Amino acid sequence: MIEAVACGTPVVSFGVCSAREILEGRGCGVVVEPGNHEALSEQLARLAWDEERRAKLGSAGAAAARELFDPAQVVGAYERLYMSLSGN
């Protein structure tokens, strides 16, 4: 899921792990209930026919990946965490 989102590919996923948080929260994909294969195939078919929606979700995904996984941001977050644990 993360690699697809980072490549600007819209994702349809079952509601597992952080799928809902990332895909729906960041507007870059669709989440269906785990095990609901009918809903999964329906959402895939909808995306297959909706070029504008695919482009919108894909752009949002690439932007979310840059924000969430930017090396400078990740390093900064770890630095802040380590400093807070050290009492500084």
Residue 84: its pLDDT value, please?
Answer: 93
Residue 69: its pLDDT value, please?
Answer: 87
Domains of the chain: 2-86 (3.40.50.2000)
Beta-bridge partners for 30: 12
In whole angstroms, what is the distance from residue 60 CA to residue 57 CA? Answer: 5
pLDDT in tens, 45-62: 999 999 999 999 999 999
Residue 74: its pLDDT value, please?
Answer: 87
Query: Please, are residues 9 and 16 in contact by the beta-carbon 8 Å criterion?
Result: no
pLDDT in tens, 7-40: 999 999 999 988 999 999 999 999 999 999 999 9
Residue 52: its pLDDT value, please?
Answer: 97
Q: What is the pTM of this model?
A: 0.79
User: Rounded to whole angstroms, what are the CA distances from 27 to 23, 72, 83?
Assistant: 6, 23, 33
